[in-house]
Amino acid sequence: MTLFDHWHPVALSRELRRRRPLKVTLAGADVVLFRDGPRLGALDNTCPHRGFPLHRGRVDAGQLVCPYHGWRWATDGRGQAPGTPTARPCARAWEAVERHGLLWIRRAGSDMPFPFVDISGHGRVTTLRRRVQAPLEVVLDNFTEVEHTPPVHAFLGYPLERMAEVECATTITDDAVTVFNRGPQRRLPAPIRGVFQIPREADFVDAWTTRFSPVHTIYDQYFLVRGSDERRGPALRIAVFYTPVGPALTDLIVLAYASSARWRRPLLEAIRFPMTRLLVRIEVGRDARLLDAMEAPPVVLKGRALGRFDKALTASRRHIARIYRGEGEATGG
């Protein structure tokens, strides 16, 4: 098993037009995506004939046409050479599907299940992709601890001077790492509190589970009246997929949803959805810029001075090695 066996989101649906192929890169492997009506093609990007990059071609009648000698490729990889009609060339095809507004690929023949994102009762707020210059592990580190929220974030999270009050519980199982954080919400501008109906004295809950086929985290974020279990304001569910592009390059692919049942007033909702979209984009952008600035951060955690918010990091490293990269698996047999 290799990481190519997992279903990875590699692009947003809207990035792939009807007639123009799109090159994506998954862990160093260049793959060209194209559409044949509702069918999706995903082939190794190098033309099997003489190696021209197929993403420079065009889509004609559902086939990808190589611009060098005009050989044509179907979504399943079967090819035609117009000058040699008897030839039966074949390109390596990947399995490809379109779900949640994203394009996903895995190695053909893999039987890894599709990752489950429970969005029942939720409305889509936004879908975005942001490339960051950091290894997958380092990106995951950032997305699975809350200690960075005071210096890095603008709205969601905790104030630095009260960080010691934040409760942080980490649960590690065979295939998942779950973290629950609750603490005083940092001060928010009055218009934001007004629109979302968040009380001045609110607790913010940031709880998530990371799974590793592929590596992704699903967050539940909501507000409680301080010292009680009474919920107020929006409840967000955000799925973040970390797709490795290269050893030090990772695509963050974010699906953000909000529980629409809580937001019954249409006029307010008309403001809240775009505002939530903006907030998510601002906060993800802040994480991304921070990661870009880390400059070749070490992937290994051994020897680091880790704190109480960093427990998930070490467990995630182990799960990435075993579940995601298939390291330490028995071979032969």
The Cα 294–Cα 160 span in angstroms is 21
> With respect to ligand FES, which residue has the nearer C-beta, 61 or 164?
61
Structure tokens, 128? 């975005």
| Shortest CB 103 distance to ligand FES, Å | 23
Considering the rule CB under 5 A, would residue 141 count as an interface residue with Fe ion? no
> How is the chain split among helix, strand and coil, in percent rounded to 5?
25, 35, 40
The residues binding ligand FES (CB under 6 A) are 47, 49-50, 52, 66, 68-69, 71
Q: Which is nearer to ligand FES, 49 or 148 (CB)?
A: 49
326-333 long-range Cβ contacts below 8 angstroms, 24+ apart: 326/1, 326/2, 326/3, 326/5, 329/1
CA distance 333 to 331: 7
Nearer to ligand FES by Cβ, of 44 and 310: the residue is 44
Residue 195 vs 290, nearer CB to Fe ion:
290
d(CA 20, CA 215): 29
| Smallest distance from ligand FES to CB 300, Å | 42
Torsion of the alpha carbons at 182, 188, 191 and 192, rounded to the nearest 10 = -40
52, interface contact from ligand FES, Fe ion, none, CB < 5-8 Å by kind: ligand FES
Binders in 47-106 for Fe ion, by CB under 5 A: none
Reported in sequence order, the residue ranges of 226-297 that DSSP labels E, i.e. its strands, are 231-246, 249-259
Question: Which is nearer to ligand FES, 48 or 199 (by Cβ)?
Answer: 48
| Residue choice 10, 287, 309, 323 for contact with Fe ion (CB under 5 A) | 287
Question: Roughly what angle, to the nearest 10 degrees, separates helices 136-143 and 311-319?
Answer: 140
Cβ proximity to ligand FES: between 66 and 188 the closer is 66
Residue 251 is a binding residue for Fe ion (CB under 5 A): no
Cβ 215 vs Cβ 189: under 8 Å: no
Task: Provide the minimum distance between the beta carbon of 219 and Fe ion in the complex, in angstroms, as a whole number.
Answer: 10
Report in angstroms how near the CB of residue 85 gets to ligand FES at its nearest: 14
Identify what 180 binds: ligand FES, Fe ion, none; CB under 5 to 8 Å per kind. none
CB 178 within 8 A of CB 168: no
Q: Which of Fe ion, ligand FES, none does residue 49 bind (CB under 5 to 8 Å by kind)?
A: ligand FES
Partner touching 287 among ligand FES, Fe ion, none, CB below 5 to 8 Å by kind: Fe ion
For ligand FES, the closer CB: 60 or 292: 60
End-to-end CA distance of the chain: give it in Å, rounded. 14
Distance CA 189, CA 155 (A): 9
List interacting residues with Fe ion (CB under 5 A).
287
